[in-house]
Chain A
Amino acid sequence: MTALEISGLAKEYVDSYSGDRVTAIGEVTFTVEEGEFVSILGPSGCGKTTVLNIIAGFVEQTAGTVKVGGRVVDGPGPDRGVVFQNHALFPWKTAAFGLRMKGIPAARRREIALEHLELVGLAGFENRYPHELSGGMRQRLGVARVLANEPAVMLMDEPFASIDAQTRRKLQEDLTRVFELRRPTVFFVTHDIDEAVFLSDRVVVLSRRPSRVREIVTVDLPRPRDWQGTTALPEFREIANHITALLSEGGDREGPELTAA
């Protein structure tokens, strides 16, 4: 089953001050199957966040459609959960209660919350406020909050970009573990090629602005994956090198901050 269907998506921003028009997305088409992990990669400023924001319903497209579970979406909704780059946790909600908002009875809600905190490795932290957690823990909480809501699609915009390399590795491994356990449908924005290849089943590579899909790369690496084992596979390097080449072909000075493969 196709969980997410993006067809002919285009976005033109109009600067409200100067009236200048910027075509952020030229024409983007791809699908994400149910239980699939799809990443989107591209040069900085090519419109990855814009694609995610349109799918989430935060930004309106100029052309094209977004379908979730076959239904055209219009505005934000609980069928699409978002993990934000800056976690976007509510400062006034403790870990346990930041997870809810749906009309589920309190006792059941707490159960769900605790279960998901445990899943992301935050057991015992249910009474903390976000400001009492480290950056990595906040990101874990952000993931737990979305998983607990059981959206049809999980949208993640560079969730680990502002986290130190060591913690990031751990978060990537834990995300893979949770993904392999739960099989949510994930759409993941990143500009780290290794991260995209490690996490994904397929990687959508965008050209620079106005962006189009250059290629959709299938990552046929065995699961379960772990960082050491998976990145050491020759196929991993091959795929990562292929994507690096794709990105540098279309590259210019505005090019991406690529991690050397």
Chain B
Amino acid sequence: MTLGRTAGPGLRGRTAAPASRGPRGRLASAFWFLLPFALLLVVWAVVVAATGTPMRIFPQVTDVGSAIADMWASGDLLRHLGASLRRVGVGALLAVATALPFGIALGASPKLAAFFTPLLRFSVSLAGIAWIPIATLWLGYSDQAVIFIVWNAMFFALTYNALLGVQQIPIELIRAARSMGTGRLRMFWEVLLPGALPSVVTGLRIGLGYGWRGLVAAEIIASSAGLGYALFLAQKSFDTDVVIASMAIIGVLWLLMDRLVLSPLERRTVERWGMKSVVS
């Protein structure tokens, strides 16, 4: 267990917010978050300028900036962004909806877990990208093929982490629930799912990472829109500024997803419940 805080009567029923949460703290945390990226940009600009690297090999920071502005102005940026986000969104939702129940069911049944674990381990190495040929064979060069790859890339990591999460729930909690007459459905929603959540969040992080990589690879091969496709198109015409711009956008989207979706989820659940020690 984490720190057992003796709550005095004056303390409202909330975990004391970490010190970094005030308006000043928020600025400071944003500063420290952005600093490494700012440094990267400076180093990049200086190195490219100092070595006189031609645009064809690697673009200057400003070139990438104007490439992004151009993509924005032409509407390409929104079109590609929209296509990619929709595919990731649908694929991720499908993966969560299928992998969580499956993983939790496996975690709750040692027999099922023993049966499926070798298969899961085997599949993890093949998840996502390796399925692109089969996906295009089955589904053509289509949205569905890309969504299938995102789903596939996420499914195994999510399932495996949900399984581990359930197995790590203390036996006493399961016993307590059972001796309160808890039925299957409540057991899933109120005991197994929240109990597995710390591990599930890890699974989501890893899974979404795989999902994004799967998305980019699938878009390069199997579609005519999306950030991966933009990357591919620009490479064909040696527009390195657009290549790097697309890469930067993909990375920034991933960071935003983590900060706007996963971290708040974590704060509201596992941190709130004291299942993860908050280091602020």
Contacts and interface: CB of A to CB of B under 8 A. Distances in A.
Nearest to A151: B179
A131 B273 contact: yes
14 contacts: A57-B178, A80-B179, A81-B180, A88-B176, A90-B191, A90-B194, A92-B195, A127-B13, A129-B13, A129-B15, A131-B4, A132-B13, A133-B4, A133-B6
Interface in A27-71: 56-58
A120 to B, nearest CB: 16
Interface stretch (B18-26, B44-52, B167-175): B167-175
Interface of A: 56-58, 75-78, 80-82, 84, 86, 88-94, 101-102, 124-135, 138, 145, 149
A92 B273 CA distance: 5
Interface string B177-190: 11111100010001
A78 B274 contact: no
Contacts of A88: 170, 172-173, 175-176
Contact of A86 (B7, B172, B186): B172
Contacts of B6: 133-134
A15 B135 CA distance: 48
B179 A132 contact: no
Q: Is the interface of B mostly helix, strand, loop or mixed?
A: loop
B205 interface: no
B9 interface: yes
A58 B191 CA distance: 17
Contacts of A86: 170, 172
B7 A133 contact: yes
B269 A92 contact: yes
Q: In this complex, which of A77, A88, A89 has the most chain B Cβ atoms within 10 angstroms of its Cβ?
A: A88
A75 to B, nearest CB: 8
A82 B175 contact: yes
A217 B178 CA distance: 33
A170 to B, nearest CB: 15
Interface residues of B, number: 33
B3 interface: yes
B180 A149 contact: yes
A237 to B, nearest CB: 35
B7 A125 contact: yes
Contact of A131 (B1, B173, B178, B194): B1
Contacts of A84: 172, 175-176
B248 interface: no
Contacts of B273: 91-92, 129, 131
A124 B12 CA distance: 10
A82 B13 contact: no
A140 to B, nearest CB: 13
A101 B172 contact: no
B62 to A, nearest CB: 50
The 5 closest A-B pairs by CB, nearest first: A131-B274, A78-B181, A127-B13, A88-B172, A92-B194
A140 B49 CA distance: 69
Contact of B274 (A58, A91, A145): A91
Given A90-B173, A132-B274, A133-B7, A101 B181 contact: yes
B114 to A, nearest CB: 14
A169 to B, nearest CB: 18
A90 B182 CA distance: 13
A7 B151 CA distance: 56
Given A131-B1, A131-B3, A56 B274 contact: no
A90 B177 CA distance: 9
A174 to B, nearest CB: 18
Given A76-B179, A90-B191, A135-B4, A129 B172 contact: no
Nearest to A94: B13
A130 to B, nearest CB: 7
